Structure 1
Amino acid sequence: MSTRYPNRRSALFALGALPLLASCSGSETERTAGNPRYATIDQSGAIAHGPVAGRLPRTPTIDEIRQRGYLRQSGSLTNPGFALENVKTGAVTGFDAGIAQLLAKYLLGKPEVDTVTGGSDTREAMLGNHSVDVAIGTYTIKENRARLVNFAGPYYVAHSGVLVAADNRDIRRLSDLDGRRVAVQPGAAEESLRKEVPHAIPVLFEQSSQNASAVRQGRVVAWSANTALLLGKSVIDKELRMTDIAFGSSPFGIGTPKDDPAFKSVVVEFLHRIMADGTWRKLWECTVGVLTPGPVPHPPRVGSVPGS
């Protein structure tokens, strides 16, 4: 699925405060719309603050982006706080969405982004065949993935967490998942669960909405994923609750095509710029910071994890 609204996407970004609506189902849309914190999310100031590159090198990916006139990325449109689409207006708001918009602005002078959605296991293939320019969306940097794509980052480091039904008080520590059915998406979340709780029973779902439904319906006892993903779901859904369990590390990176290393260097410079000039902090404050008031985390050091 590809979502883009030509001739009005940039205008929507500039308008600012737009209520966030989930795009996967009516019930989830109602959950999001009913949460007053979402109505105050407005990242237009952070996007306006973002830098525009001066002279850029010519690379195959940059040439294609400029010829097309917008950045095409693999990402999510259903992750509250990080990338959530307003189905009425087409505006996409959240920290990851903002990173994509800022990168588009850096490359083109305008935050034009086309988001292609799909399963978490399709990103390497889309980058490899140049269906997308970048992959941005809680994309954990892994050394095995780095054999297929070039990672710029990390731009944020999350952890693995555990989400349960709101009335569940049985799951308090990782060992409580032994022998229990736990929803995960294939990839980093599944690998982390198998490593940390080898006796848990992973139940695989491609979409985050499917994992949430499995918990609500009692088909699994918990859902394990990175804390960024679980945060948004727990904030909007009163039937779900994040536990205090945290383990491992999930450094998020921007995936770029393996055959265009010069483009990766440009994206690395972009990350250095937004972290140094305060744009990264502004974006966090007006997206995730709206949902979880507290200290703004420090940006991670780019290139600090294997595979980046």
Structure 2
Amino acid sequence: MRRKIIEYINTTKNIEEAIKTSIHLGNKLNKDIELNIVVENAAASSLAGATPLTAASEAQIQQELLLEISSKAKEVVNKYEKDTADLNIEIKQSTSSLDYLIKEKSREKDTYLIILAQDSFRVDVSLLSFFDKFAQLAECPILRLPSDYTFKPFNRILYASDFLEEDIEKLKNLINIAKVFRSHITMLHISEKEDSNFRNTLDFANDIVQQIDYENIEVKTISSRDISTGINNYAHNNKYDLVVVLREHKNFFENIIQKSQSLEITKDSEKAILMFHELN
């Protein structure tokens, strides 16, 4: 049984490009696809505006939205029938919370990758709580697509790195994706001030690269007053197709005191973001 790419969709906005991305990745990576249409209670309430909803009315609106989005998803899948001949594509519907769905799905052994297809997932409060759970529990990487995303092959990949030993296993996982696109990978380290140990840092990074079975990879290090802004600007100015970040493993109190650079990058980036968890 092949592992799956699971994509969560909550709107018809840009749904064709979102599904095309899953289809393309499924073919390239030899994975099946599960399109999960999600309409939470908040979506029904927002359509009603200031009008209070009864439980029955809310449920009816949810079902109507599920039907509308699912119908559009089926239409897109049928449109690309020639590209899906070797794929098993399943469309599911849910009114459960996104947090719960992703938490559970990320634990399943056959889940290879989760895709979040719209910016509404990114800015919604539920996503922030989800990322807190992801930092502790998730067992698969997540790909976040901006709402205006148009798929193109990941020819240029920017890997934001602290040049740590943890990078080795993550890079090995990334290579599985990079190889099918023949991607050029840049390992980029950004410091907020001049690094007095610059040479040692660079040497250690090159040692990491030597342990990776991939030739088309380079190491860069630059300084910026703000790490997340520096990475996003570098990705934009150098036309990268994908930015990869490593989600830091922090305890509850560390998350309160310190901001997560990986979440800051994800929050502000115009690029597709692939996030690995430090522990998976």
Q: Larger % of helix: which?
A: 2
Whether TM-score is above 0.5 comes out as no
Task: Normalising by structure 2, report the TM-score.
Answer: 0.24
Q: Which has the larger radius of gyration?
A: 2
- TM-score, normalization: structure 1? 0.23
